[in-house]
Amino acid sequence: MHLLADASMPLVAQLAETFSDALREQGIPFTLSTFHGRQPTPEQLASADLLMIRSITRVDAELLRHAPRLKWVGTATIGTEHVDADACRYAGVAFVSTPGVNANAVGDYVASAISNIALEQGALPAGDVAIIGAGHTGRAAGQRLRGLGLNVHFYDPPLLQAGMHPTEADVHADWQRVLASKVISCHVPLTKNGEYPTYHLFSDKSIATLTDDCILINASRGAVVAEQALRSAKQRNQRLHVVLDVWENEPQIAADLLPWLRYATAHIAGHSVAGKVGGTLRLFAELAGFLKQPDLALQLPSLRRLLKPWPEAVREYRWQTDARPTWQMLASWVRDIYDIRIDDNLLRQATPEPAAFDALRRHYSARAELSQGIVVGGRWLAQREWQNRLQQLTFSHIQKQEQ
């Protein structure tokens, strides 16, 4: 049995070795090879029984034509539009994704963007926050912004239409409420069909109606926000603060928009160490189920153990205050752990070529998560309001002993 995997997936060789050792005892050979870049070659695909990818690899009928032995595809991402599920079904290939593995990292990314903008402007956004999509990443972003003290609501008509009971109370289908919000953050899959398509959800018409100084963040899929509509907003000098982690024509970025964008990054919102390692680990657990080897999943190491080689992923960030934190302190603590400005500078300093974009993703530095923060305080920490806010920001927190 031969597994072909994206070489950029952390610890894929280590986890494959766990599988190989266990299956060898059952007389089942298990081998691993890796591919570099966006697509594996036909020669690599020819011998692959299993395939592990990330969001940059397109799995379609053409790829499957070169992989006659392929039986299973797993993507270490929540997004699935890069995989043609119908083509997989037709070819008899099982397909799984890993929703939620990088939700904390994406939530941290949004919190860092808002924290930095607020600190630069000297005030939190004066208005509501609209989160588009009440799924894993949307909820993570919304909860952190509530921890900063903002009023958050969620726009998710498909969720309501499906009759599901969202965990967030304030989920609605009022698009005008979204457009009137001071902060808008996108967390949806890319869809072109159905009653609520997300392709060019933010067209020129939508963007033109946004309030002055609105903060628009896209950390979902590039084509959710039409880049031509952003160019129109730039030309009419519309007062917006646009944050793009994803691009309509990746890996080609809209270099002409860079000077106008507030922050611009190379599709790394979910790239914390825990998010990336967690994606690899989840895929191997899924693979164990596909192979009908439940004991294999039990032999996999814990995420906490796997993170030990990365000091940045296990480091503690500790702050102490006897007074209740101000929003400025909270925003600064967020920035201490993850500062979006670093990634913004890296993209602006790189050449605007697809190869440079992919290189930034491939060589991305180890990044911590907000859950590594510890707040030490006085009696105020016992107040439920502050316990809730620190939990929403995902900081760990301890009660300071009274003297």
| pLDDT band with cut points at 50, 70 and 90 for residue 373 | very high
Query: Which position has the token pair 């939620």?
Result: 100
Return the H-helix or E-strand segment holding 240. strand 240-244
Task: Give the pLDDT confidence of 99-143 residue by residue, as tens digits.
Answer: 889 999 999 999 999 999 999 999 999 999 999 999 999 999 999
Catalytic residue among 248, 250, 286, 369: 250
User: With 0-12 CB in 10 A as exposed, 13-18 as middle and 19+ as buried, what is 336?
Assistant: middle
Beta bridge partners of 320: 376
Residue 117 Cα to chain centre, angstroms: 20
167's CB contacts (< 8 A; 6+ apart) are 139
Task: Give the pLDDT confidence of 339-364 residue by residue, as tens digits.
Answer: 999 999 999 999 999 999 999 998 99
CA geometry: angle 263, 265, 267, nearest 5 deg: 140
More confident residue, 329 or 19: 329
Phi-psi region of 149 (alpha: psi -120 to 50; beta: other; left: phi over 0): left
The answer, yes or no, to whether residue 286 has pLDDT greater than 90, is yes
221 is catalytic: yes
**Torsion angle of C-alpha atoms 265, 267, 270, 273, degrees rounded to 10:** -80
267 is catalytic: yes
DSSP 88: H
* pTM, entire model: 0.91
2 is catalytic: no
Task: Give the pLDDT confidence of 221-245 residue by residue, as tens digits.
Answer: 999 999 999 999 999 999 999 999 9
| Cα–Cα distance list, 58 to 37, 53, 84, 88, 150 (Å) | 11, 9, 8, 12, 38
Catalytic residue among 136, 153, 221, 367: 221
Catalytic residue among 54, 187, 262, 267: 267
